[in-house]
Structure 1
Amino acid sequence: MGPGTGDRAWGDAQSVLEPLGPEAELIADLTWVLFIGGGIIFLATMLLLAVAIRGGDGPRRILGSRRFILWAGVAFPVVVLSALLVGTLRVSAALDNRPMGAEPLKIEVIGRQFWWEVRYPGTLPSGGIVTANEIHIPVGREVELRVSAGDVYHSLWIPTLHGKIDMVPGRTNTLRLRAARPGVVRGQCTEFCGAQHALMAFYVVAETPDGYERWLERHRLPAAEPVDEFLATGRKVFAAAGCGGCHAVRGTEWDARIGPDLTHVGSRLSLAAGTLDNHRGTLGGWIAGVQDLKPGANMPSYNAVLDGRELRAVSAWLESLR
């Protein structure tokens, strides 16, 4: 199934063993060396243990000899660990010094409790497209993620594309990566950042260059005007409930930056940083019961504020913002 269909199977890849780009391939190769090498050493150790327990005096004398202890207990670990150190440093150097082509696409990612703000500088006269919990990139082009934190320490990890990078308040770190083929993969915060750290995921959508340009063109547009009375009611509910005090909807009077930008929220794959699939029903459930679904999130539940019709209307309006 494709993105946005309500089945998250398309975006659950979150493994260093499923690389989507050259940087992740280098890390995957090192991972396989560690897995296979560690497995062989473990089996050899268990075999020697079995010989020591059940073998006769002859094998035990060999295992207890000074020569065997020096070779197996000193020389072998020194050689293996030194080789792994050299290999790891070579992979690290290769990741840090990969030749770059044209000017990379710069994307800003800001970690917040407990969601991700994503900015595309220069894509709008006012600064750039702003979205949340989803990073769109073109296949084959170098991408520079400029990451920071808006509150506490976070850490961004996209296992299928690169290693981890810290997100530090007051500092910007950079991570360069490239997707080799289209796909939708999952990323995660890997630095404990509070009560809902475990529910702070995001998706990376790697698209063909043409598909990425079409995505940009759609997201340059302001929010669509309601096309019927029910959607217009939803917009009024949004205004009356004070949602614009925290959220921006480009093309309207709402431009707050406390919570995620909702200009095209209906087109996103998930809600609440990967917690829920995104459709009208989950939008209503999220608005009504934020604190039941994600306790500690900086948004109140509106189940005692909005009645059923109001919830359905505002959910329908938000879903229409594509």
Structure 2
Amino acid sequence: MTALACAALPWLAGCAGRQSALAPAGEDAAALHTLFIVMLAGAVVLFVLMNGLFFYLTRINPVALPLRHARLLMAVGGILFPTIVVGTLLVWGLSLLPDQRRPGDGLRLHVTGEQWWWRVEYQPADGGPPVVSPNEIRLPAGQRAELALTSSHVIHSLWIPALGGKMDMFPGRETVMSLRPTEPGSYRGQCAEFCGASHAWMAFEAVVMEPAAFEAWLAAEARDARAPATPEARRGADIFAREGCGACHAVRGTDAQGSLGPDLTHVGSRQSLGAGRLGTGLEDFATWIAHVDALKPEVEMPAYDHLSEPERRALAAYLKGLE
């Protein structure tokens, strides 16, 4: 028994972490976690009972059952008991669905699945203009936020295991889900529907914040980009304009108004680069600029490996300074 417990330890390590459905940090995830635990416990009990009965009839008391007892066992164990158990679990599971689609407390997000990144727009409760912050979903703790989901090319599926269930995203159709996170922290979300070559690298950060901190962050995100603060960053801004990056990317407050790729207005303050592919250090930006095609197969952005190393570092300094 001790050896079995030790052998199970590496597997138990997967039961925690910021991308685990077994470590719920939201009201919706907690409901699904409870449902899973009850189903798992029931499966264990059923396994023990059925195998115990089999062992008893084949090893302890291997005699033929009377026909009446055999029919009763088949009717109760094979029809009545499974029907009651499965029916109860089905009703309970379906009863959770309305909560997953309840209206939010005011905050509404529009999330579009792109190839392979996430376009995220926050619609403030006061009806102001949307705030764009791609590849990152930030939510206030203790409040229910409503997410309107769609896709631009193929079917995607948004899933933040620690906060709630998953929801598919379809081109030309809007699906709606809502989440009520309870524990501030940083969690990992992922596309849960195979969508192409870089599906495995289509992740995002889900950051739960205290309501006051969230409001301050949202107000900061609505501002224009910060002007380059160093000579190297100013040179990077010139390279950004010279290479035509503004044709695909927007940097609010500048001439860059592209919409094909992610908005870069505050890219330096995000927790990941390339939809979870890299961090946001200077080396990460420089690596992404030169090797984006290798880091994210079939992505639409070209690699700028023709730039010299000083030029890549200057461009990385400019992007890192967009906080």
TM superposition score normalised by structure 1 = 0.88
Asked if residue 90 in structure 1 is aligned to residue 129 in structure 2, the reply is: no
Q: Choose from 159, 181, 206 the match for 1:157.
A: 159
Aligned residues between the structures: 307
Give the superposition deviation at 1:186: 1.2
Note if contact 2:108-2:124 (Cα within 8 Å) is conserved in structure 1: no
- The 3 A distance-change label for structure 1 pair 136 and 95 is closer
Structure 2 counterpart SS, 1:144: strand
Note if contact 2:117-2:135 (Cα within 8 Å) is conserved in structure 1: yes
Aligned residue for 2:240? 238
Contiguous gaps of at least 5 residues in structure 1: 1-10
Structure 1 counterpart SS, 2:158: strand
Q: Distance in 1 between matches of 2:284 and 2:185?
A: 24
Q: Choose from 62, 65, 78 the match for 1:61.
A: 65
State percent identity of aligned pairs: 41
Q: Choose from 30, 48, 63 the match for 1:43.
A: 48
Q: Distance in 2 between matches of 1:229 and 1:35?
A: 60
- The 3 A distance-change label for structure 1 pair 282 and 249 is same
Asked if residue 81 in structure 1 is aligned to residue 86 in structure 2, the reply is: yes
Q: Distance in 2 between matches of 1:170 and 1:321?
A: 33
Opposite residue 61 of structure 1, the aligned amino acid is L
Aligned residue for 1:4? none
Q: Deviations over 1:62-121 (max 9, x none)?
A: 79822222222222212211221222222234545x5x68x4211111110100011123
Opposite residue 85 of structure 1, the aligned amino acid is L
Q: Distance in 1 between matches of 2:98 and 2:235?
A: 57
Q: Choose from 20, 28, 45 the match for 2:25.
A: 20
Give the superposition deviation at 1:47: 2.7
Q: Distance in 2 between matches of 1:136 and 1:34?
A: 31
Structure 2 counterpart SS, 1:79: helix
Q: Distance in 1 between matches of 2:58 and 2:150?
A: 55
Q: Distance in 1 between matches of 2:112 and 2:207?
A: 18
Q: Choose from 266, 270, 273 the match for 2:272.
A: 270
Note if contact 2:123-2:129 (Cα within 8 Å) is conserved in structure 1: yes
Structure 1 counterpart SS, 2:227: coil
Note if contact 1:111-1:167 (Cα within 8 Å) is conserved in structure 2: yes
Opposite residue 168 of structure 1, the aligned amino acid is F
Asked if residue 204 in structure 1 is aligned to residue 206 in structure 2, the reply is: yes
- The 3 A distance-change label for structure 1 pair 212 and 253 is same
Q: In angstroms, what is the RMSD of aligned CA positions?
A: 2.3
Q: Distance in 1 between matches of 2:125 and 2:178?
A: 20
Note if contact 1:235-1:314 (Cα within 8 Å) is conserved in structure 2: yes
Structure 2 counterpart SS, 1:298: coil
Q: Distance in 2 between matches of 1:254 and 1:92?
A: 42
**Greater RCO, CA 8 A, separation 6+:** 1
- The 3 A distance-change label for structure 1 pair 15 and 138 is same
Q: Choose from 231, 245, 252 the match for 2:254.
A: 252
Asked if residue 30 in structure 1 is aligned to residue 35 in structure 2, the reply is: yes
Give the superposition deviation at 1:160: 1.8
Aligned residue for 1:189? 191
Aligned residue for 2:77? 72
- The 3 A distance-change label for structure 1 pair 235 and 123 is farther
Opposite residue 215 of structure 1, the aligned amino acid is W
TM superposition score normalised by structure 2 = 0.88
